[in-house]
Amino acid sequence: MKVIIKKGKARGRVEAPPSKSMAHRMLICAGLSKGTSVVEGIAESRDVLATVECLEAMGVKCVRSGESMTVTGIDILKAAPERTLDCNESGSTLRFFVPLCLLSGAEAVLTGSRRLMERPLGIYKDLCRERGLLFSQEDGSVRVRGPLKPGKFKLAGNVSSQFISGLLFALPLLDGDSLITITPPVESRSYIDMTIASLATFGVKVLWQDENTICIKGGQEYKAGKVRVEGDYSNAAFFEALNVFGGDVIIDNLNPDSIQGDRVYGKMFEQLKNGTPILNVSDCPDLGPILFAVAAAGNGGIFSGTGRLKIKESNRGEVMAEELRKFGTSVKVYEDEIIIYPAEFKKPEKPVAGHNDHRIVMTAAILLTLTGGEIEGAEAVTKSFPDFFEKLTSLGIEVEKIEDKS
């Protein structure tokens, strides 16, 4: 899909969509609970739907009504997957479900898009090899078989917190206590805390022993309940960027006491407006693209901790550099650092490419409110924020969608 955006200032109120990260976690906890839970605030993003479909493949019953999902859980320790678990393009879904599939001792197959299956899974491969469990990755799928036993687990903290979260879902259900030791630096700690908070909401307690060690008591049970997914700060950041660019937008549906790490966007935007700061994005990698955009349209910026952007839906550092150059911006990309130099910002002569990455598309759309222009591959927004362009239109930005002919 191609999208044409006209230059303009955004004004009005907009509601932040439900947090995709929190939705994954709440739905999984509900699926592991005895009884029936209601999870409110579920958006129809492709990533969240992938988690729902994988739960259903495990035998969980999920019934949607509007923005609510009624979830009837299963005894995951006895569950054998009824079919292949298709994670689509969702890294969270894949990494959260591998440990869950190791619980029963039944063989499970997980698959997904080509790009997803290229993303790192070595931590689970090594974990399974060390414990004599099956982990086989070939032909675009992963085959695993447990049963996983409680014990001590040592994981690298600089690859993805999703591996740690995946184990946190599974280990409390085992018949003994476990310990996760994370080799520093622990990046995206806020996402681990989000998982721990979700577990607590469903009656499962795990504790930080120190800043690198998590204690998990075994023999616990998830308790069904009614919960609401809070608004998403990572997607709200796109609308806040419109204010940096001279708009007047009020964003609703955000919890001021949220533990989401992406809450830092306000502080970072302020630093970018007032100078050329050095910002570390290792704990908020999803903010990377929109932070780069704000820097490019303003005073520039130096960003550290950018190495993990290579293993997202696209190589976000490289593709953002490629697209920002179309606006006349000079960008240098290093192994774990990106430097954006201030320059005269201009309308792109060529369409901005979406690179099959929802955050690249949304970043491009916000930038084009300054200049006008086109985005190709704009359908990628459906991964996390299907009605993004409708929200942008509601703020007075003229958007024209041109569907692909096929």
Per the residue annotation, which of 257, 286, 357, 404 is the catalytic one? 286
pLDDT of residue 163: 96
CB neighbour class for 192 (10 Å; exposed up to 12, middle 13-18, buried from 19): buried
pLDDT of residue 80: 84
User: Which residues lie across from 13 on neighbouring strands?
Assistant: 250
User: CB neighbours of 66 closer than 8 A, spacing ≥ 6?
Assistant: none
| Annotation says 286 is catalytic | yes
Peptide bond into 342 cis (omega under 30): no
Peptide bond into 147 cis (omega under 30): yes
Residue position matching structure tokens 């993805």: 160
Say whether 164 sits in a helix, a strand or coil.
helix
8 Å CB contact between 261 and 191: yes
8 Å CB contact between 182 and 218: no
Residue 248: phi, psi to the nearest 5?
A: -140, 85
CA dihedral 368, 372, 378, 383 (to 10 degrees): 30
User: CB neighbours of 267 closer than 8 A, spacing ≥ 6?
Assistant: none
8 Å CB contact between 373 and 327: no
The total number of residues written for the chain in this structure: 406
Say whether 189 sits in a helix, a strand or coil.
helix
pTM, 2 dp: 0.92
What domains appear along the chain, each with residue ranges and CATH number?
2-17+232-402 (3.65.10.10), 20-218 (3.65.10.10)
8 Å CB contact between 286 and 234: yes
8 Å CB contact between 339 and 332: yes
Tokens of 232: 């998403």
Q: What does the alpha-carbon distance between residue 42 and residue 22 come to, in Å, rounded to a whole number? A: 10
Residue 234's identity, in one-letter code, is S
pLDDT of residue 314: 87
List per-residue pLDDT tens for the chain, 406 residues long: 999 999 999 999 999 999 999 999 999 999 999 999 999 999 889 999 999 999 999 999 999 999 999 999 999 998 888 899 999 999 999 999 999 999 988 999 999 998 889 888 999 999 999 999 999 998 899 999 999 999 999 999 888 899 999 999 999 999 999 999 999 988 889 999 999 999 999 999 999 999 999 999 999 999 999 999 999 999 999 999 999 999 999 999 999 999 999 999 999 999 999 999 999 999 899 999 999 999 999 999 999 999 989 878 889 999 999 999 999 999 999 999 999 999 899 999 999 999 999 999 999 999 999 999 999 999 999 988 999 999 999 999 999 999 887 5
Q: What does the alpha-carbon distance between residue 185 and residue 346 come to, in Å, rounded to a whole number? A: 39
8 Å CB contact between 300 and 342: yes
Helix, strand, coil share of the chain (percent; to 5): 40, 25, 35
User: CB neighbours of 271 closer than 8 A, spacing ≥ 6?
Assistant: 277, 279
Taking CA atoms, 387 is separated from 1, 48, 205, 235, in Å, by 14, 15, 36, 12
8 Å CB contact between 272 and 301: yes
DSSP structure class, residue 66:
T
pLDDT of residue 312: 83
8 Å CB contact between 107 and 177: no
